[in-house]
Structure 1
Amino acid sequence: MKTSRRQFLKTGAAVGTAVALGRSARAFADLPVKDAVVPEISQFAYANVQLLDGPMLDQFNRNHAFFLALDDDRLLKPFRQRAGLPAPGEDMGGWYNFSPDFDPPKNMTGYIPGHSFGQYLSGLARSYAVTGSKPTQEKVQRLVRGFAETVTPKFYEGYCLPAYTFDKTNCGLIDAHEFAADPEALAVLNHATDAVLPFLPEKALTRAEQATRPHPNIAFTWDETYTLPENLYLAYKRGAGDRYRQLATRFLQDHDYFDPLAARENILPGEHAYSHVNALCSAFQCYLTTGSEKHLRAARNGFEFVLTTQSFATGGWGPDETFRKPDSGDMGASLIRTHASFETPCGAYGHFKVSRYLLRASGDSRYGDSMEKVLYNTILGALPIREDGHSFYYSDYNDSASKFFHEDKWPCCSGTFPQVTADYGISSYFRSPRGVYANLYVPSKLTWKQGSANCVLTQRTQYPLVPETSIELQLDRSETFTVMLRIPAWAGPKTRITVNGKAMQQGLEPGKFLPVSRSWKNGDRIEIQFDMPTRLDAVDPQHPGTVALMHGPLTLFAMGDKPIHTTRAQILAVQQLSQGSDTWKMSDVEFKPFWVIGREKYRLYHDVS
């Protein structure tokens, strides 16, 4: 007998939870809980930050419009099919729909049906929170209602990655609740949790552990149970019920991952890159929820290993989606072995999340520096998703490189792309009782209340093509607070800051936030002029002569794929054609930032003498 959505909403979640935990459940009616640890630095709400004209706003708007226009029936089709319901609409194809052709790794059609539904739902919910677009909110709530009717354990029968897909479903539903005010999302989540629990293992499993268990094909060894805790903790804190905290604890991968990381043992080499960076977010949410300093150390140390031993000059990491052994020369060797250098939308999404978390815990501007590097040199240059679902997946750092789409439709990066672009605003500014942190120098407007003053901070800039930014404050009454300005570690000694035309003489230190404290009044203005040095960054210590050209936060890519025969002095003499130009030139070679490159050939690293 089929259960209607109304019947399910009335009884399904409570009954399912009681069965799963052996107790009476009030899960989706619980009040939100407070963090055990509340960092002094916090995120602004999505609605507090408005991006202004520029490439970030263009990319966000494009993704928002694309997913708003996707047909509901197509998005819901694989769930309706498994539930035995009418399933109108065309197949989306690729990874998204069930297919008899699935034969990994030779044929990935039908790989993870419905896997990215939760990510699309999350991206739309966040986009509504940014824009207030009623059609977007209506679509989110319509999709939640449609999905509710399909929830059944049958969906996961013979399904290769149940934890992977449920994690995204969980994220989408808690975001629909939190950001799109969906009244049913937490009830639907509880029902969806009941459906997946019989198919989850007793604990988080490494990929090696999964390979030792019986499996019909290799894809069943790729599930990512170790990424579950982040969104389970968030579900708990957003009011979905205490069992989500219990489940989060159950799937913490302490023995094989967080314990050694907390002890500063670098166990990243050989691991799948994106999912293990994403798992660091679970460690941080454990810290926030339980106060576990061990998990904070694990997140901090793990990300430090990524930044110092696994990253290219662009900030990207994980060639062939795998972390490499430090001091092996594998990063340099990858330049001739693979075109799959960095899993870009997924990697950028995880990178931005863990950077935001760690910045909040520490106030360390290095995390802002790393966000900035990944923004300009990877994700901002991602090609738009095509109507047929082909998506930009890998940044290519091969010696003969180009931008290309993933061979399969609707891969995982089609889901993280709208999420990371919706997060651009909340990555740009942070707040604390002292005032505000200006983390990214992007065209934007921040609106907030400081003390008794209603404040607006407007940033106008063409940074980083022009090495300056202007910040204007509008207040309805004077108020004393601090504006914390991120001074990048690369900033040269001629970096200059003025407040209302008066130069600041002390306190400016690259690699730190500079506090500017005063009684601010309407019309006050901060001007920053950055000294952007040009420098070289070696791919790894074993290839010191294989270098990328850097200018401030930008990695500059040589157009064309022919080797450049030059010296360090010659390549460092490269010149921007004019201030604001997106082109630098050395002799007859042009260099461009990643986001302005189309389908031309380019080269990132060069052998210099």
Structure 2
Amino acid sequence: MVLTTAFCCCLGNAIAQQAQLKLFGLDQVTLSPSPFSQAQQVDMTYMKAMDVDRLLAPYMLEAGLDWPAKRYPNWENTGLDGHIGGHYLSALAMMYASTGDEEMKRRMDYMVGQLAIAQGKNGNGYVGGIPGGMAMWEEIGQGKIDAGGFSLNQKWVPLYNIHKLYAGLRDAYWIGQNEQAKTVLVALTEWFYELTKGLTDEQFQQMLISEHGGLNEVFADVAAITGEEKYLELAKKMSHELVLEPLEQQEDKLTGMHANTQIPKVIGFQRIAQEGNLANWQDAADFFWHNVVEERSVAIGGNSVREHFHPVNDFSSMVSSNQGPETCNTYNMLRLSEQLFISNPQAKYVDFFERGLYNHILSSQHPEKGGFVYFTPMRPEHYRVYSQPHQGFWCCVGSGLENHAKYGEFIYAHSEDALYINLFIPSELHWDEKGMVLKQENNFPEAASSAFTLAMKKPQKVAIKLRYPSWVAKGALAVSINGRPVEVDAAPSSFVTIDRKWKNGDRLEVKLPMNMQWEPLPDGSDWGAFVYGPIVLAATEGTEDMPGLFADDSRMGHVAAGKMVPLAETPVLVSEGIRPEDLAVPSSNPMQFALASVDAEENAFTLRPFYQVHEARYQVYWPISKPDKVTATRKAIGEKDELMLALERATVDQVATGEQQPESDHFFKGEHTLSGNNEGYFWRSTTDWFSYELKNKNSQGKKLRVVFPAKVDGNPFDIFINGEMFQEVKLENKEGSSQEIDYPLPASLQQEARLVLEFRAKNGQSTERIYYVRLMR
């Protein structure tokens, strides 16, 4: 989000008094040739390939209007209908502001106009693409609330869904300068205000159990736009106390939580802090940022495994799972970093932003063909898959459309009399209020320097604050003005302030020497990544067996489901009396390094920037060992992994119960259900019923395996398959942490291509907690 003049930040006791900061508008910053400008153009080509009328179809059809285009497939016609339309509207506004492309403006204006028509047809201020949404919202307004982690009144995260439209309308107004968008946005906000004004605080909090995106943030934005205090109060009511209260107490309760459900909430806490002068909410957001960045993130800046926060002291799942960091998480962590920086301009926020931008966001789009990445596995020798314009409509497609349209928003920032240079990305800044044009030129990171030329209408005094990155050694940063060295009195991860009267033609140059670093996983295990300056390096390891590289429209198409190479075969770095970073040997190419002392059949590996690695298996993290411990190291990392791989080979289909995306991808339905996390196990139970759809590919399924806790309540319940009674279950306590039971399928069910698995409670007594479901060969 770009806030050019919409708000300023002046927080009380939480932080020292700072000059009021603003980001420049995207229309004030033009990218020059670089990987970022190329990514921007590739994104725009992808956007132009998409059909606006199909993206609008959910809104128009739900309003009862005749509409010639059909809904897109994938997530867009299976319950999350319309969520991409909101992201797309944001991306259009951003891309138009960034490039001035008239087709982006035409599409943006057209979308807003059609949404206004749908809103008018509904007659009450509402517009949305949620199937059967009008009836559902009526139930909510009456206080009839049945919320699960990713469901609300039997709908797939409708609050999360409609948040994307709110954000799209806000961006079309604030960034795209479309006045009609403001009218639609305010009317939609007033509808929600009126809908929920009769709900108690307890009912609000019950509703917020369901994933709701950043609705608290956008309502704070509407308060800033309109000056209406009631919308800021609505924003506070839409803030989830289960997450906020521990953060206010500086307590980490995040393990096991769905990561990208929480990050937008915290952006909202920070935004409300800005509008409402709430120092404790600012501190809560900052505590969250530090926890996620310093204890839960990997080298590329991403976080989460299978979309959830894992324990801070155990990153083993990060290097074993094929569902590593989710792009949406980093998209939102960068947004949070921006907002914290605006309120408290410290270089640490920019240091993290830069790491995530280069290594996760830039790498998450195919640089020539386009297409967006959902999961970026950290599992050695695995790969990523990319979306296609008319097939994949995952959440990371929506945020991906925005990511590459807004690269110019955080390169610079300013107060009334100071210019912050945050990022070293070739670009041209037009600061009209100062009559200044600043042109940044470099070939970073290939050349570790950047030069800035100023064009001034008249000489004037401005404090330029140049970031001293955390990755440049103390005393190594060199600055010159018009060829003359300037004394640098600053430390890494701070800003060098150059306060002088600048005149036309002045040239500021900075040298940014980069060093190789070995960055261990935060849990202290013997796994690490090579980072050169801010750039994470990786090795490519073949292109074999990468099914679904460009995903189809299947519900699981976003997962790289090809063969997982056993961890026991992972190349191991061998080090004795040498720093791990010294194992990366420079080559003639400034951004390529040869790896020395690798214990592997093929021991010649070349490291290059991860953002340059595409359509290949790759390795970011490496285990390291002393020479006499290599065999033991391989055994240790291979034992648990081989059990997992053997289980995967024996599995036809599976559902990780209680985890959002696996359940959604298996068409979860249910009433009066609970889910949670207990001792590392996600689970679901019910006092009524819940169901999944399993695929029995090629009639391979022979038995159903269900995992339960070891300690149980003993309540009987039933399992139905395809509407027929399959198994009555009554469990007894066992030793250990869990128990798994195999139920053979009768011959008739073995031939069914689709198995609807339903758990039904008896007499209103809760079923046992279900930990996992597998259809086995």
- In the superposition, the TM-score normalised over structure 2's length comes to 0.66
Cα gap change, 1:188/1:394 in structure 2, threshold over 3 Å: closer, same or farther? same
Bigger helix fraction: 1
Tell me, yes or no, if structure 1 residue 608 matches structure 2 residue 604: no
Cα gap change, 1:262/1:489 in structure 2, threshold over 3 Å: closer, same or farther? same
CA contact (8 A) 2:90 2:169 kept: yes
Report the Cα offset of residue 312 of structure 1. Answer: 0.5
Which of 158, 161, 165 pairs up with 2:157? 161
Cα gap change, 1:276/1:49 in structure 2, threshold over 3 Å: closer, same or farther? same
Report the Cα offset of residue 206 of structure 1. Answer: 12
Cα gap change, 1:500/1:386 in structure 2, threshold over 3 Å: closer, same or farther? closer
Secondary structure of 2:573's aligned partner: coil
Tell me, yes or no, if structure 1 residue 419 matches structure 2 residue 419: no
More divergent stretch after superposition (394-403 vs 59-68) = 59-68
Aligned to 2:443: 462
CA contact (8 A) 1:332 1:539 kept: no
Secondary structure of 2:508's aligned partner: strand
Tell me, yes or no, if structure 1 residue 46 matches structure 2 residue 32: no
Deviation track 1:553-609 (CA, whole Å, cap 9, x = no partner) reads 011112227413322536524234335x44222242101112111111111111223
Tell me, yes or no, if structure 1 residue 598 matches structure 2 residue 585: no
Report the Cα offset of residue 177 of structure 1. Answer: 1.8
Which of 551, 555, 559 pairs up with 2:540? 559
Unaligned regions of 5+ residues in structure 2, if any?
Answer: 12-18, 127-131, 137-153, 542-564, 597-603, 626-777
Larger radius of gyration: 2
CA contact (8 A) 1:33 1:236 kept: no
Deviation track 1:473-516 (CA, whole Å, cap 9, x = no partner) reads 11121111111111111212433222222222330311111111
Aligned to 2:84: 116
Aligned to 1:279: 265
Tell me, yes or no, if structure 1 residue 444 matches structure 2 residue 427: yes
CA distance in 1, matches of 2:422, 2:466: 7
- Amino acid of the residue matched to residue 237 of structure 1? A
Aligned to 2:392: 409
Deviation track 1:231-250 (CA, whole Å, cap 9, x = no partner) reads 11112212285542232121
Tell me, yes or no, if structure 1 residue 248 matches structure 2 residue 235: yes
Aligned to 1:18: none
Aligned to 2:762: none
Aligned to 2:298: 312
Equivalent runs, 1:334-353 vs 2, <5 Å: 334-336=318-320, 338-344=321-327, 346-353=328-335
Tell me, yes or no, if structure 1 residue 569 matches structure 2 residue 556: no
Cα gap change, 1:339/1:202 in structure 2, threshold over 3 Å: closer, same or farther? farther
Which of 568, 571, 593 pairs up with 1:584? 593
Report the Cα offset of residue 184 of structure 1. Answer: 2.0
Report the Cα offset of residue 205 of structure 1. Answer: 9.0
CA contact (8 A) 1:94 1:410 kept: yes
Cα gap change, 1:42/1:548 in structure 2, threshold over 3 Å: closer, same or farther? same
Secondary structure of 1:392's aligned partner: coil
CA distance in 2, matches of 1:601, 1:206: 48
Aligned to 2:274: 288
Cα gap change, 1:240/1:481 in structure 2, threshold over 3 Å: closer, same or farther? closer
CA contact (8 A) 1:352 1:427 kept: no
- Amino acid of the residue matched to residue 259 of structure 1? E
Unaligned regions of 5+ residues in structure 1, if any?
Answer: 1-31, 98-109, 211-220
Cα gap change, 1:519/1:232 in structure 2, threshold over 3 Å: closer, same or farther? same
Equivalent runs, 1:83-122 vs 2, <5 Å: 83-97=63-77, 110-122=78-90
CA distance in 2, matches of 1:333, 1:201: 44
CA distance in 1, matches of 2:517, 2:7: 46
Percentage of matched positions with identical amino acids: 24
- Amino acid of the residue matched to residue 93 of structure 2? A
Tell me, yes or no, if structure 1 residue 534 matches structure 2 residue 550: no
CA contact (8 A) 2:518 2:580 kept: no
CA distance in 2, matches of 1:189, 1:406: 30
Secondary structure of 2:226's aligned partner: coil
Deviation track 1:278-304 (CA, whole Å, cap 9, x = no partner) reads 222101111111101011101111101
- Amino acid of the residue matched to residue 183 of structure 2? A
Equivalent runs, 1:109-188 vs 2, <5 Å: 110-151=78-119, 152=122, 154-156=132-134, 157=136, 159-188=155-184
CA contact (8 A) 1:68 1:124 kept: no
- Amino acid of the residue matched to residue 136 of structure 1? M
- Amino acid of the residue matched to residue 170 of structure 2? I
CA contact (8 A) 2:304 2:325 kept: yes
CA contact (8 A) 2:465 2:497 kept: yes
Cα gap change, 1:608/1:203 in structure 2, threshold over 3 Å: closer, same or farther? farther
Aligned to 1:216: none
Bigger strand fraction: 2
Report the Cα offset of residue 525 of structure 1. Answer: 1.4
Deviation track 1:315-360 (CA, whole Å, cap 9, x = no partner) reads 1111211112222x1x233211x1221111x123212211111112
Tell me, yes or no, if structure 1 residue 58 matches structure 2 residue 38: yes
More divergent stretch after superposition (120-129 vs 184-193) = 184-193
CA contact (8 A) 1:204 1:251 kept: no
Secondary structure of 1:321's aligned partner: coil
Secondary structure of 2:529's aligned partner: strand
- Amino acid of the residue matched to residue 584 of structure 1? F
Tell me, yes or no, if structure 1 residue 433 matches structure 2 residue 416: yes
CA distance in 1, matches of 2:537, 2:248: 36
Cα gap change, 1:446/1:206 in structure 2, threshold over 3 Å: closer, same or farther? farther
Equivalent runs, 1:253-268 vs 2, <5 Å: 253=240, 255-268=241-254
Cα gap change, 1:205/1:62 in structure 2, threshold over 3 Å: closer, same or farther? farther
Deviation track 1:175-217 (CA, whole Å, cap 9, x = no partner) reads 212222323223322443466665899479999967xxxxxxx
More divergent stretch after superposition (173-182 vs 282-291) = 173-182
Secondary structure of 1:116's aligned partner: helix
CA contact (8 A) 1:539 1:547 kept: yes
More divergent stretch after superposition (582-591 vs 402-411) = 402-411
Cα gap change, 1:207/1:233 in structure 2, threshold over 3 Å: closer, same or farther? closer
CA contact (8 A) 1:400 1:602 kept: yes
Aligned to 2:680: none
Aligned length: 546
Tell me, yes or no, if structure 1 residue 303 matches structure 2 residue 271: no
Tell me, yes or no, if structure 1 residue 333 matches structure 2 residue 317: yes
Which of 449, 465, 468 pairs up with 1:487? 468
More divergent stretch after superposition (291-300 vs 201-210) = 201-210
Tell me, yes or no, if structure 1 residue 82 matches structure 2 residue 55: no
Aligned to 1:471: 452
CA distance in 1, matches of 2:87, 2:201: 22
Aligned to 2:10: 37
Aligned to 1:376: 358
CA contact (8 A) 1:186 1:240 kept: no
